[in-house]
Amino acid sequence: MIDKQQKIKTEDHAILVGLVTKEQTEEQLNEYLDELSFLAETAGAKTVKRFIQKLPHPDPRIFVGKGKLEEIRKFILMKGNISLVIFDDELTGSQIQNIEKELNVTTIDRSDLILDIFASRAKTAQAKTQVELAQYQYILPRLKGMWKHLERQGGGVGTRGPGETEIETDRRIVKDKITLLRKRLAEIDKQAFTQRKERGEFIRVSLVGYTNVGKSTLMNLLSKSDVF
């Protein structure tokens, strides 16, 4: 089952991981990790240590090198209280699966962390629907790698189409959920528009925050646009 519940708990002790590449200097990375640490604390986690590695490009299987991942694994075993590893860059589903298999610790990336923060703070029906939609949109391209099989409410006969594999079924379920949430959000927006029109007023909302804390990421996930 893919768990969309809040992943970060207030007692979590976290490790941050980032790469120095040709496109990103160590100074830039440290700034991003400062921001990532702030986000982790906002979500309720305590940052214990940072791991930085210089690589030309991320490893397609585990993002960092084998030696660095082993170093992280040994540190986790030594500390005994690390419950979360946060990567500064986006991970693929297979990378998450491979890393968690090696470390035996919950692994997320910056985008997942941001979604977790917004999910914990969503109060209105519109906000909750927007965050849930963004979560499913985040999950969809990662299904193959992070597959843990969706719980099928009312599953059984009729759940799976002819010739479908389990991963195809899960992908179909997520796509159907995205369609449903978009329709629900459209209905909520329509109702809100009608109410504002009746009151003769419109509300403008702005996303405000420090540089690189995830404003564009959130906007892109919610609107399916390309904001930079």
Residues 6+ positions from 45 with CB-CB distance below 8 Å: 8, 9, 10, 12, 13, 14, 84, 86
Average pLDDT over residues 2-19: 76
* Average of per-residue pLDDT values in the chain: 83
State the Cα–Cα distance between residues 207 and 219, nearest whole angstrom. 8
Residue 92 in any domain: the answer is: yes
Cα dihedral 145, 146, 152, 157, rounded to 10, equals: 20
Question: Is the Cβ–Cβ distance between 53 and 64 less than 8 Å?
Answer: yes
pLDDT digits (tens, 9 = 90+) for 58-115: 999 999 999 999 999 999 999 999 999 999 999 999 999 999 999 999 999 999 999 9
Residue 17 in any domain: the answer is: yes
Residue 37 in any domain: the answer is: yes
Residue 146 in any domain: the answer is: no
pLDDT band at 154 (very low <50, low <70, confident <90, very high): very low
User: What confidence score (pLDDT) does residue 157 get?
Assistant: 37
Residue 62 in any domain: the answer is: yes
Residue 147 in any domain: the answer is: no
Q: 27 is in which domain, residue-wise?
A: 13-114
pLDDT band at 145 (very low <50, low <70, confident <90, very high): low
pLDDT digits (tens, 9 = 90+) for 86-96: 999 999 999 99
Residue 170 in any domain: the answer is: no
Question: Is the Cβ–Cβ distance between 113 and 84 less than 8 Å?
Answer: no
What's the number of domains the chain is made of?
Answer: 1
User: What confidence score (pLDDT) does residue 110 get?
Assistant: 94
What is the CATH classification number for the domain harbouring 63? 3.40.50.11060
pLDDT, greater one: 192 or 189: 189
Residue 7 in any domain: the answer is: no
